[in-house]
Structure 1
Amino acid sequence: MRDERLNPLFERLETLSGVGPKLTPLLQKLVDGKFVWDLLLHLPDRWLDRRVRESFADTVPGEIATVQGEVHAYHQPFNDRSPHRVQLVDSSGFLTLAFFRADPRWMKSQFPVGAMRIVSGKVEEYRGERQITHPDFVIDPAKGETPPTVEPIYPLTAGLTNRRVHTLALQALQHVPEDLPEWADKHLIAQKGWPSFREALVWLHDPPAYDEDRFALARERLAYDEALARESAFALARAARRQRPAPIIKAPPSAVNRLIDKLPYRPTGAQMRAAADISSDMTRGYPMRRLLQGDVGAGKTLVAAFAAVEAAAAGFQSAFMAPTEVLARQQFDTLDALLSPLGYTVASLSGRDRGSAREATLMGLEDGSIQIVAGTHALFQEAVNFRSLGLIIVDEQHRFGVSDRMKLATKGDSPHMLVMSATPIPRTLAQTVHGDLDVSILDEKPPGRKPVETRAVPDTRLEDVVEAIGRALQRGERAFWVCPRVDIDDDDSSAVARHAMLEDELGVQAGLVHGRLKPAEKDTALEDFRTGRTRILVATTVIEVGVDVPEATIMVIERAEGFGLAQLHQLRGRVGRGDKPAFCILLYRPPLGETAHERLDTLRRTEDGFEIAEADFRLRGAGDVLGVRQAGATDYRVIDLAKHAPLLEIARKDAEAVLASDPEHKSERWQALRMARELLTPRVAQGADTDS
């Protein structure tokens, strides 16, 4: 039950004065919610100093300033295109106000000669004189009015003005209770110099003075509150998970050693460390929830195979779930080649399977004769039953929702879960972004992976690139050609136009994959390329992850300057998987801007996905690198990861300490934290353990 003191914050937006049927949907869209509290979480992104300057001479062109002066003269426009001009005077000189298409009667009533006026707006220089065009405020000081000392400036959407949003935010502030308990550690508050929760909201929405340091401290305080609420929710989820029994999977070392001995190479140190983490998790008697994060080609599938072998040796089944049939088929091929020679039975299951083959697979899963299965969403269909599902492995986990993982988890008795991602993020963010998951990182490449030679080429040399592709196809190699969009009539860099051009120029049948195709059409095109029925594949970024074609040696990325670094790196990772030299051609349209030049140069210089992720984070910020709502994990309302990432680790340790010292949840601090979670826990954290 929600603490009744919070009820005023959860009143609907339309209870605010002035919010009617027309304004309500606009406001809901702006603040991404329906409640007064959602409006308060829509924070200003800057503040304007509206204090009245001593004189006109104190203003600087290009800045917003507030000044007071006497109306010296009013000049009507010469024609329809010229403005009304009002000349103010003070002890330092003149300042002109310009109004286009204004009502002459309003102008004369507003600016009688000899009257004092306070005006505020952007000061510009026009013909050697100071000028403000269409001031934000025009105030008569004789009436006792003044502009706001500080004006918060909010992100806006069409149909809403800053003044309207600010006025409503001031109303919303009156809903914040005066008697909320302190949920953050008091020593930390003192150390950081943070205001209280309520004071922080006041400093952001209704600041008593212009003080950039106080604005930053108030925002940081609320960011920490959000981090603490989120991390305490995850701490609760971890504690709850530890209370649930799960299969104890403990296999003799010889089981995995047999697989290692059959490999034509030695696993990397990172692979062995990750395998040890997973092995330890599966012996603890409560469900494992671990993320295996590895760069392109780092060998995640082998680590997952180690875990599946341990499960099979201990008498349990494993299910590998991939987001597409092509990826599921690749997983099956890899696992079958690795594990069948050791006597394990590996099967595949997807929506396309029909008839006796499907029935045989379903029977094998139910009677336990199939120990490892690779499949798609078909794995959690009602007809699928396992005899002893002990381990779930989810590939490209960000493509599945929590409900998908939960459905598969119900096929066993609290099975262990390993989720895998080939999308590197900055190491400093890995633990905080992935919330309730323990994290293992593969930061070494297996021996034998050849580097991909990366070249940035202007699109004026398009014909040279096409000729090079033709020579590669004649040598029996294959090539990807990635375009930024599907089909635009006036742009030949679209996938549909480029597909037609390449077929015509090269005289070959080319594959075409993009997001508008039906899943079956997409899978067929990918499978044709994988098996060699087509040897060039034109695609949008739908082939960014997972497609494994060792014969592909060339990746052309057209309009590369428009892609993010991490995305370019993922696309490049589709080639260089065989024994032949591989190339990535970054076709760009000159001239390059500074940021685009740095992106392409970074990609040419390094293949380290984590270094690339750090650079992408620096260049674009967390929202773009991670996806603003990546599976809900970064659904933050206040936290800016570029500024506040260190706070999440502090909050994580604090939440764990509070829970450890108060496992019965009876302390005042824990009860206060419960209120913080009501207000500031991202939706995903509230359901963090629903897939357990």
Structure 2
Amino acid sequence: MRPQCLFPLFAPVTSLPGVGPRLAPLYEKLAGAKVVDLLWHLPGGVIDRRHAPKVAEALDGKVATLTARVDAHFPSSSPKRPYRVRLADETGFLHLVFFHGREDWLRKQLPEGEIRVISGQVEHFNNEIQITHPDHIVPEAQKAEIMTVEPVYPLTTGLTGRLVTKSVKAALAKIPDLPEWQDAAWLSRQNWPNWRQALEIVHHPADEFAAGQDSPARRRLAFDELLANQLALAMVRAQMRRLKGRVLAGDGGLRAKVRAALPFSLTGAQARSLAEIEADMAEPTRMLRLLQGDVGSGKTVVALLAMLNAVETGAQAAMMAPTEILARQHFATIAPLAEAAGITVALLTGRDKGKARDRILAALAAGETDLLLGTHALFQEDVAFKDLALAVIDEQHRFGVHQRLELAAKGVAVDMLVMTATPIPRTLLLTAYGDMDVSRLDEKPPGRQPVDTRVIPLARLDEVVAGIGRASGSGARVYWVCPLVEESETSDLAAAEDRHRHLSELFGERVGLVHGRMKPAAKDAVMERFAAGDLDILVATTVIEVGVDVPEATIMVIEHAERFGLAQLHQLRGRVGRGDRESRCLLLYGHPLGEIAKARLEIMRSTEDGFVIAEEDLRLRGGGEMLGTRQSGLPEFRLADLTLHGELLAAARDDSRLILERDPDLRSPRGEALRVLLYLFERDAAVRTLRSG
């Protein structure tokens, strides 16, 4: 249960004065539906209203707070002309300009002959000093109230800065006194305020620096959020470790046969990763390891050798992929090697029906099948293993944690190896996969050709098409990826259909088309024709991004490359350069090209290292956008910015390890305070593991 002291913060925003049913949906869109969401909605900057010159000294373009007597009103004679009010002090005149101003309201605000304090941006126009639509008009007695540093909040249509400032103030008034969850020595070393003070400081900044992301108050809040994230992951991890595992250490016989059958020897990175995996499997706790390898770094072979380690002990292993194409591809790679070792492999996908499916399931349950490869079909209830000991999940971010657990439930104390071809920067790895150990394949297998990447303006499209015609005439196979048009699938599809039509008119029947709206079987059929060489050119939306292996394909054209993220461009480029022939990738861009898009294309041109690209992607886009966070199950942070607070993340990770070593059940006074922290950042599931443990 959430601690009672947090109830006021988790009340709906409608509990704040002035936020009724009409404004509530706007606040929900802007920050969230609860009071605490407004505390996390931090200002993006400040306006300093403390500058109070005489009228004649007010500088053009600067925000100033001026005190002057109202001299005269000049109502507008036409709706197109503004309403003007003249004020004066001993140094000169000030004109206030109002478009569509209501006379009765303005005369009430600015009575002639009275002194008013005006704050806003000064403009020098036609030798006059003026302020258009001032931010504040108050009597002289209220001057001190507006001569402050004002926070500037991100807004949404229908909410003004003044409304949001007022609501945040009301939310701050609801902050309860919470116990300190940070280590006292660390706090004083960092010179950080307590939690409540930190929130007060960032919402009432004394200057530009106090509102910035590097101020002590902001760093304190970022660290709170990162500590909640790391502690929650560490607790889930500890829970996994408490579950009994099994020792899996084969005699190496099957692995030796497969290694002898391989046409190449393992790279240093493959050998190192395999040793890490085998060491985990030999432990009596359950393995949960992430194998991170760039496109074409040889993950499948490492996974096969790990699975053979389990089979050598008399158990079974399974490997699951997100698509049928990918599952079939793994099967094509693994089947001949398994045959060399004398073990049986089966493939199970949604396509297997009736008697054929029954035969596969019977052999699996009897223990006659050593390795099972497949898609989501592996989850189905009637899929029963005799003794599943290792589960491998490919393209981890396509599956949720619960699916990982469902597969593990099909055996006793199953070890888990999850793989991804999307290089993830170190900082994001910690935030998303802190519950896993990580192995990295950072070398390409020998014989892999570098891909010649060129950046070409779309204006030269005809030249590119002519070159593609010549290349396909001499036996090359070409991918042509069509642009992402905003987020709409229909327009992606329209772009692909137009390009397919255009290329078909030039090159006839040898041009194919695949897109996300096709049925899987139809998609696979086109892909198979392309792989077999019946098609020379394959026009596609981004459905070919992950795991299509056609070694004969040597040219990748990406139209409107500036619309794609770096990670995606890198994945697409990885579809070529898989054989021994020279390959190239053509990035076609449209004008105008923004700074970030330009930087992205330059990075693609200069490196093929997925890990370098991932770090650059994080730097350019920030953590939230990285890998399309929402799709990939990576956490989104409200207070921390991983591009700035990376070293705080490492500190949070170390701290959470120490905490759980000393106080695994969070029973000490600091442990109790940390429980409050976990609930504050809605990591309730982690607290539940304490009880279930």
- Aligned: 1:8 with 2:3: no
Alignment CA distance shift 1:13-1:491 (3 Å): closer
Shift of 1:356: 2.1
CA contact (8 A) 1:433 1:633 kept: yes
The separation in 1 between residues aligned to 2:494 and 2:605, in whole angstroms, is 22
What's the CA shift string for 1:117-144, capped at 9, x where partnerless? 2222233332344432212222122467
What's the CA shift string for 1:14-39, capped at 9, x where partnerless? 2222222222222222223x321122
Corresponding residue of 1:212? 209
Shift of 1:500: 0.9
Residue identity in the other structure for 1:633 = L
Corresponding residue of 2:364? 365
What's the CA shift string for 1:296-319, capped at 9, x where partnerless? 111111111111111111222211
Corresponding residue of 2:497? 496
The separation in 2 between residues aligned to 1:280 and 1:464, in whole angstroms, is 54
CA contact (8 A) 2:258 2:340 kept: no
Shift of 1:672: 0.7
- Aligned: 1:45 with 2:48: no
Shift of 1:504: 1.0
What's the CA shift string for 1:419-439, capped at 9, x where partnerless? 111111333443333221211
Flag structure 2 segments of 5+ consecutive residues without an equivalent. Answer: none
How many residue pairs end up in the alignment? 689
Corresponding residue of 2:307? 308
CA contact (8 A) 1:226 1:681 kept: no
1:393-408 aligned at under 5 Å gives the runs 393-408=392-407
Shift of 1:92: 5.0
1:119-518 aligned at under 5 Å gives the runs 119-142=118-141, 146-147=145-146, 149-178=148-177, 180-207=178-205, 209-210=206-207, 212-213=209-210, 216-485=215-484, 494-518=495-519
Alignment CA distance shift 1:599-1:56 (3 Å): farther
Residue identity in the other structure for 2:509 = V
Shift of 1:468: 1.8
Shift of 1:415: 1.1
What's the CA shift string for 1:343-376, capped at 9, x where partnerless? 1211111111112221111112211111111111
Shift of 1:11: 1.7
The separation in 2 between residues aligned to 1:688 and 1:301, in whole angstroms, is 33
Shift of 1:663: 3.1
The separation in 2 between residues aligned to 1:543 and 1:294, in whole angstroms, is 18
Please, what is the CA RMSD of the aligned residues? 2.6
Alignment CA distance shift 1:511-1:77 (3 Å): same
The separation in 2 between residues aligned to 1:148 and 1:317, in whole angstroms, is 73
Shift of 1:147: 2.2
Corresponding residue of 1:17? 17
CA contact (8 A) 2:292 2:420 kept: yes
CA contact (8 A) 1:149 1:210 kept: no
CA contact (8 A) 2:45 2:211 kept: no
Alignment CA distance shift 1:509-1:58 (3 Å): farther
The separation in 1 between residues aligned to 2:562 and 2:393, in whole angstroms, is 32
CA contact (8 A) 1:139 1:146 kept: no
Shift of 1:279: 0.9
Corresponding residue of 1:563? 564
Shift of 1:409: 1.7
CA contact (8 A) 1:495 1:538 kept: yes
Corresponding residue of 1:543? 544
Corresponding residue of 2:526? 525
Corresponding residue of 2:634? 633
Q: Secondary structure at the match of 1:621?
A: helix
Shift of 1:78: 5.1
CA contact (8 A) 2:678 2:684 kept: no
Shift of 1:681: 4.6
Alignment CA distance shift 1:99-1:334 (3 Å): same
Alignment CA distance shift 1:295-1:68 (3 Å): farther
Corresponding residue of 1:614? 615
TM-score (norm 2): 0.93
The separation in 1 between residues aligned to 2:97 and 2:587, in whole angstroms, is 50
CA contact (8 A) 2:244 2:284 kept: yes
The separation in 2 between residues aligned to 1:492 and 1:253, in whole angstroms, is 50
The separation in 2 between residues aligned to 1:154 and 1:526, in whole angstroms, is 50
The separation in 2 between residues aligned to 1:82 and 1:524, in whole angstroms, is 67
What's the CA shift string for 1:485-517, capped at 9, x where partnerless? 479999998111111111111112422222333
Alignment CA distance shift 1:131-1:483 (3 Å): farther
CA contact (8 A) 2:562 2:597 kept: yes
The separation in 2 between residues aligned to 1:350 and 1:66, in whole angstroms, is 71
Q: Which shifted more, 285-294 or 127-136?
A: 127-136
Alignment CA distance shift 1:54-1:349 (3 Å): same
Flag structure 1 segments of 5+ consecutive residues without an equivalent. Answer: none
CA contact (8 A) 1:485 1:495 kept: no
What's the CA shift string for 1:552-573, capped at 9, x where partnerless? 1110000112222222111111
Q: Secondary structure at the match of 1:315?
A: coil
CA contact (8 A) 1:558 1:588 kept: yes
Shift of 1:538: 1.1
Residue identity in the other structure for 2:207 = Y
Q: Secondary structure at the match of 2:578?
A: coil
What's the CA shift string for 1:636-669, capped at 9, x where partnerless? 2221111112111101111111111123432111
Q: Which shifted more, 457-466 or 21-30?
A: 21-30
The separation in 2 between residues aligned to 1:514 and 1:73, in whole angstroms, is 68
TM-score (norm 1): 0.94
Alignment CA distance shift 1:481-1:493 (3 Å): farther
CA contact (8 A) 2:624 2:636 kept: no
- Aligned: 1:605 with 2:606: yes
Alignment CA distance shift 1:150-1:332 (3 Å): same
Residue identity in the other structure for 2:209 = E
Shift of 1:175: 1.8
Residue identity in the other structure for 1:117 = R
Q: Which shifted more, 554-563 or 656-665?
A: 656-665
The separation in 2 between residues aligned to 1:89 and 1:682, in whole angstroms, is 58
CA contact (8 A) 1:96 1:129 kept: yes
CA contact (8 A) 1:332 1:373 kept: no
The separation in 2 between residues aligned to 1:579 and 1:624, in whole angstroms, is 35
Shift of 1:537: 1.4
The separation in 2 between residues aligned to 1:316 and 1:131, in whole angstroms, is 83
What's the CA shift string for 1:236-257, capped at 9, x where partnerless? 1222111111221111244433
The separation in 1 between residues aligned to 2:373 and 2:34, in whole angstroms, is 44
CA contact (8 A) 1:326 1:527 kept: no
Corresponding residue of 1:584? 585
Shift of 1:682: 5.1
Q: Which shifted more, 652-661 or 86-95?
A: 86-95
Residue identity in the other structure for 1:242 = R
